[in-house]
Amino acid sequence: MVKPPATGTPTESLTETPEGRRHWAGMAERPIADLRAIAAALAPGVYSGLLCGAVIGGGGGRLAMLLLRLTSDASLHGRRTDDDFTIGVFTAATIFLIAATAAVGTVGGVCYALTRPWLPVRQRSALTGAFLAITGGALIIHPGGVDFTLLAPLWLAVGLFVLLPGVYGVALSLLAEWIDRRRWVVGWLAWPALLIPGVLGIGIGPAGVAILGGCALIVIFGQGQRLAVGWRSGLVTWLGRAGLTALLVGGAINLARDMSAIF
């Protein structure tokens, strides 16, 4: 840390000389600059994830269930799904579904904003869609219950719930990249983008609060720029790609195992 020149009395050198005032003003402005940079980096992912999660996850999920109701046995109408939603009925639970998928989509948007520097620019949307189709499908699809035993045809039920997270991934990436190129959008909407992940982090519980606390400490101690440079370094990029590949392989194995049990 560069110290201000010690001219005059010690008190004057720290607070009253022009050099001292500039020094402490810079110290105070650094956390604000770091927060602004974080907000601008997260904003495209946050807003894209929120919108795509609500529309594709919530709305698309309900349309998928409507289609499966039409293709399945009529006796399933009104029956509860594995996620406790009523087949073929629009209820308050549908509003909860849209809100929940918007929240999950926002988390996905934050993850995309963090990992997009590791992905080749021209392949980002395709890679994101393929990654989420496999890993998301592995999380949604499971043998047993109602969704993937009684709904018919089974290939359609499985296909739809692999397709939906994949479409979400492609749309999320395309929309986030579009927003990122519109700097006026990022400028106007950057600061509110910090509030949404903050509320979600608190809602997650102790783990989310711990993550937010760690981020706050990084900003307070002025390490945001150093962390940003390290995050985009070659070593971290390759480690990040290795981690994503491991998740993809694990998701593919689980998805293949579940599909084998269903069919």
Per-residue pLDDT tens over the stretch 112-159: 999 999 999 999 999 999 999 999 999 999 887 677 888 889 999 999
What is the mean predicted confidence (pLDDT) over 168-187? 88
Residue 1 DSSP label: -
pLDDT at 246: 98
Model pLDDT, residue 233: 93
Mean pLDDT in the chain?
Answer: 81
Query: Residue 181 — very low, low, confident or very high, per pLDDT cuts 50/70/90?
Result: confident
Let me know if residue 26 belongs to a domain: no
Provide the pLDDT for residue 85. Answer: 66
The answer to whether residue 15 is domain-embedded is no
* Mean pLDDT score, 57-85: 81
To the nearest 10 degrees (0 to 180), the angle between helices 18-52 and 154-181 is 150
Residues 94 and 117: their CA atoms lie apart, in Å, by: 35
How does residue 236 score in pLDDT terms, banded at 50, 70 and 90?
very high
**Is residue 13 a part of any domain in this protein?**
no
Amino acid 28: pLDDT: 46
Q: Structural domain tally of the chain?
A: 1
pTM: 0.83
* Confidence at residue 23, expressed as pLDDT on a 0 to 100 scale: 41
Its domain, for residue 145, covers: 32-262
Q: Is residue 25 part of a domain?
A: no
Q: Is the pLDDT confidence value at 7 over 60?
A: no
Interatomic CA distance for residues 129 and 126, integer angstroms: 5
pLDDT band per the 50, 70, 90 thresholds, residue 165 = very high
Instruction: Label residue 13 by pLDDT band (50, 70, 90).
Output: very low
**211 lies in some domain:** yes
CA separation, residue 232 to residues 181, 227, 238, 241 (Å): 19, 9, 10, 12
d(CA 172, CA 133): 13
Residue 96 domain-assigned (yes or no) = yes
Res. 20: pLDDT tops 50: no
Q: What is the mean pLDDT of residues 54-82?
A: 84
* pLDDT at 8 (0 to 100): 46
- The two tokens of residue 32 are 């604000």
Establish if 11 belongs to a structural domain: no
Question: What is the average pLDDT across 67-86?
Answer: 75
**Residue 111: inside a domain, yes or no?**
yes
Cis peptide before 120 (omega within 30 of 0): no
- Give 86-111 pLDDT, tens digit per residue: 666 666 778 888 999 999 999 999 99
Of residues 139 and 218, which shows the higher confidence score?
139
Structure tokens at 69: 């109701």
Q: What is the pLDDT of residue 141?
A: 92
Instruction: Indicate the pLDDT class of residue 197, thresholds 50, 70 and 90.
Output: confident
- Higher pLDDT among residues 20 and 83, named by residue: 83
* Nearest-10 crossing angle of helices 92-115, 183-204: 110
